[in-house]
Chain A
Amino acid sequence: MKLLRFTIMGILFGIILSKAEIISWYRIQEMFRFQSFHMYGVIGSAVIFGVITIQIIKRMKLKDAQGEMITVSTQEPSYARNLLGGTIFGLGWAITGACPGPLFILAGHEGWVFIIPILSAILGTFAYGVLSDKLPH
């Protein structure tokens, strides 16, 4: 039942991205054509508030609900991984018009068609796992 709180956060996240049209294929096209500030405003303001939030967490040494230090880290120090991997993801982002979060939100918003790119993304992740030894890292 404790996990239900994450479902509630997910519902909130789904509503935010739906209502601000971040899940719209058209908004992603507009972004990659630099024809509107909308998406840059969303990501930019999220990051500005995020920087402030994380600086407060670090400077005040805030603890999480279990009393552990809050840490944020996902980075791998590699140009190959971040640039090549990032570019491959970017190619996919521009045609599906959706990054992973919106793919799931769209399945709820637009219907079952979006199960296809979700399954395909799982297959893509599987392909990466199988080929990862042979890729530059």
Chain B
Amino acid sequence: MEKIIEFIQQPWPWWVAGPLITYVMFSLLYFGKGFGVSTNFKTACAMLGADRVSDFFKIDWKDQKWNLMFVLGTIIGGFISAQWLTPDPSVAIAASTVADLQAIGVANPGSSYVPAEIFGTDNLFSLRSLVFLVGGGFLVGFGTRYANGCTSGHAISGLSNLQYWSLIAVVGFFIGGLLMTHVFLPYLMNL
């Protein structure tokens, strides 16, 4: 048993994660549900009474209870991994990425899952954290609903279903991601 736990505790390669993600998608389809995490943001709006402001939120959010339960599970899954399955939280990113990130002001790239410069609680009330956490989250929420899906809905489910419009959405994801990474990020790190 100890051997099994030790085996699981290593970082998982892409060829383990990819097919397992497909399996999660298939399990949801088998129970009549579509894989889509960003829908939960819309459900949250409807639950909080946004239907009184916009007809866009006039949905029966109880139909999405399963998805809220799924998301609850993902939080638990993250907690289990951090507590018991990840004795070494460093991430073995490419040497070139380490060098690029050091050049824009990230002190120890890859020493943990997320950079302390952005997500550390010490400098939470800085302009930088405000832009990354509040601004970034806002763009994710706005963009996914505008595009009608995120990575799970478009990149995984949509492309698996050979949907042309999901491919266009994924092209959009990369236009935005490349612009942010190569054009705006160096400035934002200086905030």
Task: List residues of A whose CB falls within 8 A of some B CB.
Answer: 3-33, 35-51, 53-54, 57, 64-66, 68, 70, 72-79, 81-101, 103-111, 113-114, 116-130, 132, 135
Contacts and interface: CB of A to CB of B under 8 A. Distances in A.
Given A85-B143, A104-B71, 15 more contacts: A11-B80, A14-B78, A21-B11, A24-B91, A32-B174, A42-B18, A83-B172, A85-B169, A86-B175, A100-B150, A105-B74, A113-B124, A124-B140, A126-B53, A130-B53
A117 B136 CA distance: 7
A11 B143 CA distance: 26
Contact of B72 (A10, A44, A119): A10
Interface in B95-137: 96-97, 100-101, 109-110, 113-115, 118-119, 121, 124, 131-137
A46 B11 contact: no
Interface of B: 8, 11-22, 24-34, 36-38, 40-42, 44-45, 48, 50, 53-54, 56-57, 65-67, 69-82, 85-86, 91, 93-94, 96-97, 100-101, 109-110, 113-115, 118-119, 121, 124, 131-166, 168-182, 184-185, 188
B151 A129 contact: no
A108 B188 contact: no
Contact of B145 (A57, A85, A101): A85
Nearest to A45: B18
Contact of B78 (A7, A104, A125, A128): A104
Given A3-B65, A6-B70, A18-B81, A33 B97 contact: yes
B159 A92 contact: no
Given A19-B11, A30-B93, A91-B177, A47 B160 contact: yes
Contact of A32 (B19, B159, B160, B177): B177
Contact of B24 (A9, A30, A120): A9
B171 A125 contact: no
